Amino acid sequence: MMLALGLGLLCVALWPDPAGAQFPRVCCTVEGILSKQCCPSMGSDPANVCGSLLGRGNCTPVRVDNKPWGGPYNLRNVDDRERWPMKFFNQTCRCTGNFAGHDCSQCKFGWTGPNCDQRKAPVVRKNIHSLTPEELQEFLNALEMAKNTTHPDYVIATQHWLGLLGPNGTEPQIANISIYDFFVWQHYYSVRDTLLGPGRPFRAIDFSHKGPAFITWHRYHLLSLERELQRLTGNENFAIPYWNFATGQSECDVCTDSLLGGRNPDNPFLISNQSRFSRWGVVCNSLDDYNRLVTLCNGTSEGLIQRGMMNGGNGSLPTMNDVRNCLGIRDFDSPPYFTNSSFSFRNALEGYEKPDGELDESVNNLHNLVHSMLNGTSALSHSAANDPIFVVLHAFTDAIFDEWMKRFVPSNATFPDEMAPIGHNRDYNMVPFFPPITNEEIYITSEQLGYSYAVDLAETDGGPNVFVLGSTLGGVFIGLLVLLLIFVLYLRQRRNRGFEPLIKADFTNRKYTEEA
C-alpha cells in the first residue's frame, strides 16, 4: 500500500503521461494492479488459471516489440503506450491452439466448438442497402443494445498508471462503460495525445492511423465489436453490414431516419428526432480539456452526435474508379510508412495520397474524404466512432483491403517489421487491445478470421499500376499488336489534327455489383 501511495505522489510531482487503459474487470483489483499480473482463472476453480487445467493456456510474460520505430514520435519512456501493455501488466494469459480471450475461455475468430477445433462458417457482411427488413432491424437494435448495456468483461481506467490505485493506494480508479462506448473509448485512446504536463500535449503520435497499422487496427476493432453484438443478439451468424461510400455523390445515402439518422430540420448539425440515434450521447469528445487537465476520457456523456451539411460545399464522395485505382497498387506500404508514403496501398486507402498512389500533400480521398464529408463528430479522429456510421464506413474500408489481400496474396514480410511509426511495426501489440495482439496476427484474409463480404470489387482491366499485357507468349503477342495499333492511330491523328496526347480515353471497368 505504501508503495502505491508513493508512486501516486511521484506522479503528481513529475506529471508523466497519464495513460489509463481498458482491462478485464477481474484483473483490476489492488492485488492485480500491484502484481502487474492479469491471469484470471477460467470458471470457478481458482487453480484453473488461464484454463491451464484444460490445456487451454498458461500465465506467461508479455512479449513486446523491441525493434526501432520511425515517424515523428521521438520521445522514449514517456508515453504509457510504449511497449504496450507493460506499464500496466507484464504477465497475461497466453492461449494455446485456437483458444482465445483474457482467460482463454473463448475461441479465436473463425473457430467454434467446445474445444475450438471446428472451423466456423464465415459470417457474411452485406451492403446495408441489401439487408432484408429483418436483418436491418436486427443490426439497428443490436447497436442500441450495445449503447445501453454495460460491458460484461471490461472496464476503463480513469487515472494514469501511477495513480491507478487512488490517493490512498487502496481504491482502483476504474469505471464501467457500455459495450458501444467501450468501442468508442478504444479508438479515442489509440489517438489521444501524449501529455507532458498541464496543457503540454505532444500531438505527433497515433497508434491507429498514419501508418501500416491503420489497416489491422481497425480490422480488429470491428471484429471485437461484431463478436460482442453476436453475444448480445444470441446470433452467432450476426454480421455487421458495410456502406459502399464510393458513390461519387455529394450526399450521404445512409443518413436517413430508416438507416443511421437523417438531418434534423430544426438544427441541420444534429440528427433527426425521428431517428433513435438522435438520443445517443457522445463520449471522449473533449480532447482539449483532457490535455489541459492532464486527465482521460472517463466515459461520461458530453453532448449529442453532430453531423455537418455534406452538400454545403462542392465536394463529393469517392468513386468506384478511386477504389479500383487504389486496388491496383501492388505494395502494401512503402518507406517511411507514414502519411508521405507514395505508391502505398495503405496510404492511398487511408486517404493521404491519390488513389493511384501518387503523393500529393493536398489530397483528401477515400477513407479520409468520407470522414471529412460527414463533418461534425465523424471528422474528429478521437470522437469519430461515436457516430454509428463509423461502423459501416470502416467495414467497407476493410472490404477494400480484403480484396487487395486476395489479389496479391502478400506474405507477412510485406508488413514492415521496423521503422514504421510507433505502434505500427509488424510485431507491435496494438494499443489498447487486451490481451495483447500484434498487427501480424490480423494481417490475414477475412475468411481466416471468420467472415467474408458480399461484394464484388473485381475489375476487368488493369489499373494504372498493374498493367499486365500477358503472362504467356500469346498474351505478349496480343499486347504488342494493341500497342502497334495505338501507335498507328496516334500518327494518323497527329497528321490530321495536330499534336494531341497519345491516349485520350477513360478506362471502363465492369460495373460494381452487390450480392444480397
What does the radius of gyration of the chain's CA atoms come to, in whole angstroms? 25
Per-residue model confidence as pLDDT tens digits over 321-365:
999 999 999 999 999 999 999 999 999 999 999 999 999 888 899
What is the reported pTM?
Answer: 0.85
How far is C-alpha 213 from the chain's CA centre? 8
Check: CB of residue 186 under 8 Å from CB of residue 388.
no
Cell of 383: 470522437
Q: How far apart are the first and last CA of the chain?
A: 59
CA separation for the pair 250, 308 (Å, rounded): 12
Does residue 238 have a pLDDT over 90? yes
Burial class (CB in 10 A: 0-12, 13-18, 19+), 497: exposed
∠ CA 397-228-223, rounded to 5°: 30
Separation CA 376–CA 432 (nearest Å): 25
Q: Which residue has the higher pLDDT, 258 or 311?
A: 258
Give the tens place of pLDDT for each residue, 291-324.
888 888 999 999 999 998 654 455 899 999 999 9
pLDDT greater than 70 at residue 18: no
- Rounded Cα–Cα distance for residues 42 and 56 (Å): 10
Contact 26, 40 (CB under 8 A): yes
Q: At residue 379, does pLDDT exceed 50?
A: yes
Q: Does the pLDDT at position 104 exceed 70?
A: yes
**Phi and psi at residue 25, in whole multiples of 5°?**
-55, -40
Residue 2 has pLDDT above 50, yes or no: no
Is residue 384 over pLDDT 70? Answer: yes
Beta carbons of 226 and 238 less than 8 angstroms apart: yes
Q: How far apart are CA 455 and CA 283, in angstroms?
A: 33
Among 5-9, 239-243, 266-270, 398-402, where is mean pLDDT lowest?
5-9
pLDDT at res. 513: 22
Taking the mean position of all CA atoms in its chain, how far away is CA 436? Answer: 16
Lowest mean pLDDT among 8-12, 149-153, 259-263, 500-504: 500-504
Q: How far apart, in Å, are the Cα atoms of 88 and each of 6, 57, 81, 85, 133?
A: 17, 21, 10, 6, 45
Residue 214, pLDDT above cutoff 90 = yes
Coil, helix or strand for 304?
Answer: strand
CB 22 within 8 A of CB 155: yes
Give pLDDT, residue 280: 97
The vertex-32 CA angle with 30 and 39, nearest 5°, equals 160
Run of H or E residues at 320: helix 320-327
* Amino acid sitting at position 107: C
**What count of other Cβ atoms lies within 10 Å of the Cβ of residue 10?**
12
DSSP 233-255: HT-TT----B---TT--SS-TT-
pLDDT in the model for residue 481: 54
Task: Estimate to the nearest angstrom the gap between the alpha carbon of 198 and the chain centroid.
Answer: 29
Question: What residue has cell string 450495445?
Answer: 146
Q: What's residue 467's pLDDT?
A: 31
What are the angstrom distances between the C-alpha of 449 and each of 58, 403, 408?
23, 15, 18
Q: What is the 3-state secondary structure (H, E, C) of 89-117?
A: CCEEEEECCCEECCCCCEECCCEECCCCC
